[in-house]
Amino acid sequence: MVSDVAALREIAEDCGSALTFGADDADDLAALLRRLVDGRDERRVLAARGAAWVARERTWAANATTYARLYADVRSGAGAAGNRPRRRSA
């Protein structure tokens, strides 16, 4: 669970294993907590997705691939300002 601020929402969308609640919205957070407390199967699915995403995306090899692509883009001029390298997705 993360608030829906841009940086956290982006990670949640990339990994497919996090739910978001409205920043500064205590009722939204409470509803999401109730949903997860009551949703044993959903918790298990989210946990499995998260573990798989971390094992696939948050490794030294994955980071090396991402940065090699980024550096190649910068060297070739393709790394225009504001363009953020995107990790590969499942």
Q: pLDDT by residue (tens digit) across 16-30?
A: 899 999 999 999 999
**Are 15 and 42 spatial neighbours (Cβ–Cβ below 8 Å)?**
no
Q: Which two tokens stand for residue 38?
A: 């009551």
Going by pLDDT thresholds of 50, 70 and 90, the confidence category of residue 78 is: confident
Q: Which two tokens stand for residue 48?
A: 């499995």
Amino acid at 5: V
**Are 20 and 2 spatial neighbours (Cβ–Cβ below 8 Å)?**
yes
Cα–Cα distance measured from residue 77 to residue 32, given in angstroms and rounded to the nearest whole number: 44
**What is the reported pLDDT for 83?**
55
**What is the reported pLDDT for 80?**
57
65-88 average pLDDT score: 77
Q: pLDDT by residue (tens digit) across 33-74?
A: 999 999 999 999 999 999 999 999 899 999 999 999 999 999
